Structure 1
Amino acid sequence: MTDAHSTDPATESFVAHRNLLFTVAYEMLGSAADAEDVLQETWLRWTGVDLEQVRDQRAYLVRITTRQALNRLRTLQRRRESYVGQWLPEPLLTAPDVAEDVELAESVSMAMMLVLETLTPTERAVFVLREVFDVGYDEIAAAVDKTPAAVRQIAHRARKHVEARRPRTTVSAREARAVVESFRRAIETRDPQDFLDLLAPEVVLLSDGGGIKRAALRPIVGSDKVTRFYLGGSLKAEVTVTTELTVVNGAPAIALLVDGELDGVMAMHVEGGRISGLYYVRNPEKLAHVTAETSLALR
């Protein structure tokens, strides 16, 4: 925005709530690029609103964002049906304060975002607005074009669905970081036993190459199979693999560089001191937001 717009009330309000609106859109879509497009659409509609008729500008902006995100989500779901291999959310390099906010970090974690993928578009919108952002039922009803009574039923159904599938956090952020750091060293030393010591017996690996980079087309389950996948195919000896510890979606993660170029980002879920979920994003079209921090907000 230019200085000429700095005193414009519509611009000031939009900028003040931008991080919140982006977070709403991202949690609904799992794609930072699409969330940015939704924000652009929200801004265009917001500039045509008579602010004198708006009692709660935050609620109104969230309503516009939700409607635009819902429209886009329905389109994205059709595209994902033809996606090559596993589809994973677009990873975000997040600021340290996101990791410190337990509620926010859990809501944008890779594991949780994948749970949200199992909801219908309307269920996802209702769950995100109610459970993550604490939006009132009347406001949600206006955003999703349902009655408050219907929204309560949808929220109850979505909550039960998520509770049955949501990952459980059993370690502190410090413990998780220590496990991720140990796994980073295991990747570089390529010692199979180091892998096996850090992976839970029933660890699940999901890898996303988008048909552009090599990736497993189906989930790989079990510490032995995951170890063989990395050491036998994913990270071949003839290339130089280096790693960097980073923070993705509010949790410690690993950036992998092959011959000095970013090859992918590996997020993970840690339970009981071991890695139970590995999420390896190699699709280059999804790596645009891992080189600069993305600001998120719940309020």
Structure 2
Amino acid sequence: MKHTLKLEKVIPFEELRQILRNVVFRGLYNSKGEKMRPYEHAKFTFAKVYPLKEIGFPAEIEVNGRRDILFTPQPTIYQTQIEITEIVDHFLQSEGIRMTDLREGIQYLWEGRGMFHILPPVIEKHKYVLNNGFIDLPQLLNRFSGTYAKDARGNLHHLGNSELHNFFIDEVSQLAHLDTFNSTTPIMNYGLPYSGEHAFHIICDGAHRLDYVLEKLQQPITVIVAEAESDDCPLIPYYAFPAPLRPTIRLSSKKAEKMFYRLERDKIHLLNDFIRKILHYDWEAAGLLVGKLRSNVEIY
């Protein structure tokens, strides 16, 4: 099948940085009920991700000459997305652009499908405090100070508390007590010997581009690292726990997940199931057409 793609615009990195600062959370608010921006106080730099050396070894990200393990929030890859990525890669090559070393945003028109953007993969650097490998929950809660979730009636609930009270899940039914964190949060462990602050580089956008380049092309790839400008204003914790990049669940498509009622290894959300999607990003609010959230969960 022939695909017709047309280059519409190249977005320089300086402009792209400003655009990224306008990305908003889908359901995280400040005390005034305004959607918060994950990158409002972030800085952006380029880094390089290297393929896995052999089975059992992690992919690595190199930042300023130092290599660290690359983590993912969702160890699931869809073949349909890889096929789309390959088509886009061939199109970029015809324009003299390499997906392996993309340093700007690309806007393109796919005939019959619409307008899209492709960016360098975005990796977020988060610092979590561990106690014998367990994430320090009081410290993590403190990161949510001043942030709120809305219930079905539009009431704001402060996420800096360990419990939310009188949380409406629809116009009528409410929960007297709702734990802020997912029930798995207290038992997630990253190694008993580890305590203190540890940095995690987590894939935010571009998992399939990374997989395509690292696995199929077996080449390094340039990425954007988003991190806090200062320790006084850290990034809001990511929506899911960092997990090793491999092993990977490989499915033919998102629809194929319905064949597997109990996937043994998928994302582990940070927040309670009733609010687990509120930390996802709305890229379109910043004018970026990079993908849509596939979810049956209502976000208020």
* TM-score of the two chains, using structure 1 as the length reference: 0.28
RCO (CA 8 Å, sep 6+): is it higher in 1 or 2? 2
When you count strand as a share of all residues, which structure comes out higher? 2
When you count helix as a share of all residues, which structure comes out higher? 1
* TM-score of the two chains, using structure 2 as the length reference: 0.27
